[in-house]
């Protein structure tokens, strides 16, 4: 029997939408065949710089530089992700290219438009399925934003618009993004919906050859 490759599953969303919880639950449910990778990956040298930027407002970096560091942080894992998929392992991603573009473009820095922000991620392997978690409650009424640099209600609203604009403009260059509305729903309810959306993708047989991996173009 031909060996099957694993599937790349991405969960995206704004801060405080329950992404990380859902990613962990999904990876747990997938069992030994799954790896969970979170971006930013704060465990690397580049990730440590990103962590300092996010947690220390006094740490100054040009917006272009921090954007490219987030992208470089994804490229650090690229070969490993492709290797896992070809070895038949599923990979669950907690944030990826879309967060990279949406958060940076939401800063509205002259010259850093959506295309500029996207350019450094061209060539990264594309997910087989992308779920975008949305909470319809206004960011003003939701509690729980933390202390990190981007966790401010007004900025999150801009990121929300950027995500939507991005899904429309990237159009055919990205796979269909499925929106999951988490408003007022329990962790278990969302988990079940995530599972129902992911399972058909897992069941689809794809041979484990390099040519079956798609990339952002």
Binding site for ligand TMP (CB under 6 A): 15, 39-40, 54, 70, 95, 99-100, 103, 148, 150
State the burial class of residue 175 (Cβ atoms within 10 Å of its Cβ: 0-12, 13-18, 19+). middle
Least spacing, CB of residue 173 vs ligand TMP, in Å: 17
Q: How far is the CB of 128 from ligand TMP (least distance, A)?
A: 19
Smallest distance, Å, CB 112 to ligand TMP? 12
Closest to ligand TMP by CB, 50 or 202: 50
Q: Which tokens is 140 given?
A: 């003003």
Distance of CA 176 to the CA centre of its chain: 14
Q: Of 59 and 209, which has the nearer Cβ to ligand TMP?
A: 59
Instruction: Return the number of the residue (55 or 209) whose C-beta is nearest ligand TMP.
Output: 55
Write down the least CB distance from residue 23 to ligand TMP, Å: 10
Angle at 17 between CA 16 and CA 19, to 5 degrees: 100
Report which of 217, 129, 214 is spatially closest to residue 177, judged by C-alpha positions.
Answer: 129
Instruction: In whole angstroms, give the CA distance from residue 197 to residue 185.
Output: 16
Closest separation between CB of residue 56 and ligand TMP, Å? 13
- Residue 184 Cβ vs ligand TMP, minimum distance, rounded to whole Å: 22
The string over 94-132, giving b where at least 16 C-beta atoms fall within 10 Å of a residue's C-beta and e elsewhere, is bbbbbbbbbbbbbbeeeebebeebbebbeebbbbbbbbb
Pick between residue 43 and residue 217 the one whose CB is nearest to ligand TMP: 43
CA 5/CA 50 separation, integer angstroms: 32
The three-state secondary structure class of 177 is strand
Identify which of residues 94 and 128 has a Cβ nearer to ligand TMP in the complex.
94
Q: Which is nearer to ligand TMP, 154 or 210 (CB)?
A: 154
């Amino acid at each position: 029997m031909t060996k099957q490759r694993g599937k790349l599953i991405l969960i995206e969303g704004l801060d405080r939408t329950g992404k990380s919880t859902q990613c962990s639950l999904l990876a747990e449910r997938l069992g030994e065949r799954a790896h969970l990778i979170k971006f930013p990956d704060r465990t690397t040298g580049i990730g440590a710089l990103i962590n300092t930027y996010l947690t220390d407002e006094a740490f100054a970096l040009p917006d272009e530089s921090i954007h490219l560091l987030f992208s470089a942080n994804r490229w650090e894992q690229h070969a490993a992700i492709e290797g896992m998929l070809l070895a038949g392992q599923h990979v669950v991603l907690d944030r990826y290219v879309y967060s990279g573009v949406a958060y940076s473009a939401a800063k509205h820095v002259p010259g850093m438009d959506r295309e500029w922000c996207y350019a450094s991620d061209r060539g990264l392997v594309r997910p087989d399925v992308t779920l975008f978690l949305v909470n319809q409650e206004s960011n003003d009424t939701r509690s729980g934003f933390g202390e990190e640099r981007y966790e401010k209600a007004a900025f999150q609203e801009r990121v929300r618009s950027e995500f939507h604009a991005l899904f429309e403009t990237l159009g055919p260059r990205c796979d269909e993004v499925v929106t999951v509305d988490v408003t007022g729903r329990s962790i278990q309810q969302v988990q079940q919906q995530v599972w129902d959306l992911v399972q058909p993708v897992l069941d689809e047989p794809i041979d484990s050859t390099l040519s079956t991996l798609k990339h952002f173009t």
